[in-house]
């Protein structure tokens, strides 16, 4: 059976809007995949450990990852490590650099849980940075040009030889995401 794993972004949770859209769309399918969307901890290595355990119980071809923002960064590491497909939605490319301005007290948008975001978090993220993608065909990049946090041109260049969908305008949350669910399902081979 196919397993679709959604990986939420920084200060988000399994209750995110995109996760809800995916859940809703999957209920209309005759043979939906097993959908997993864990609420991940703020510690990068711990988050990767949880996701790795989920993936290890499956075969490479049965898993498709879908990661948004920081979740896209995690999905890149996981796909490169395990050889499974990954759909990247406005993915963070270098969060160990880009999140430096967020050091200090943080609050999860959905759970309201507070924690201290430290240099150790940045070090863990840097340790997860994939310098060389092993198989470009594993990745499907989806990016909006109107993302005010992440530059779509950087992502386009990073995944240059991967399948890409660049949407003009939009925002970091990819508010038009529901329009592209069938494209996502096609890449994941979900019918």
- Mean pLDDT for the stretch of residues 94-115: 93
Question: Phi first, then psi: what are they for 34, rounded to 5°?
Answer: -70, 120
Question: Phi first, then psi: what are they for 167, rounded to 5°?
Answer: -105, 120
User: Which pLDDT does position 1 carry in this prediction?
Assistant: 59
User: Which pLDDT does position 123 carry in this prediction?
Assistant: 98
Is there a contact between 21 and 178 (Cβ–Cβ < 8 Å)? yes
| pLDDT tens for each residue of 23-67 | 999 998 888 899 999 999 999 999 999 999 999 988 777 899 999
Which tokens sit at 103?
A: 């050091």
DSSP for 80-137 reads HHH--EEEEES--S-HHHHGGGG-EEEE-TTT--EEEE-HHHHHHHHHT--SS-S-GG
Assigned fold of 3-187:
Rossmann fold (3.40.50)
What's the pTM value of the predicted model, to 2 decimals? 0.95
Domain boundaries, given as residue ranges, for the chain: 3-187
User: Which pLDDT does position 165 carry in this prediction?
Assistant: 96
């Amino acid at each position: 059976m196919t397993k679709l794993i959604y990986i939420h972004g920084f200060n988000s949770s399994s209750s995110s809007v995109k996760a809800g859209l995916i859940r809703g769309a999957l209920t209309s399918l005759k043979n939906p995949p097993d959908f997993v969307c864990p609420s991940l901890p703020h510690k990068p290595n711990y988050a990767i450990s949880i996701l790795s355990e989920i993936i290890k119980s499956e075969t490479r071809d049965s898993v498709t990852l879908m990661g948004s923002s920081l979740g896209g960064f995690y999905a890149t590491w996981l796909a490169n490590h395990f050889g499974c497909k990954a759909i990247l939605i406005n993915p963070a490319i270098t969060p160990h650099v880009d999140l430096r301005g967020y050091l200090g007290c943080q609050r999860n948008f959905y759970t309201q849980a507070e924690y201290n975001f430290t240099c150790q978090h940045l070090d863990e993220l840097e340790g997860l940075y994939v310098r060389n993608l092993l198989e470009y065909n594993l990745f499907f990049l989806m990016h909006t040009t109107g993302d005010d946090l992440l530059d779509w041109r950087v992502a386009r260049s990073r995944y240059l030889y991967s399948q890409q969908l660049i949407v003009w305008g939009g925002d970091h949350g990819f508010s038009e995401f529901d329009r592209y669910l069938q494209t996502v399902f096609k890449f994941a081979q979900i019918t």
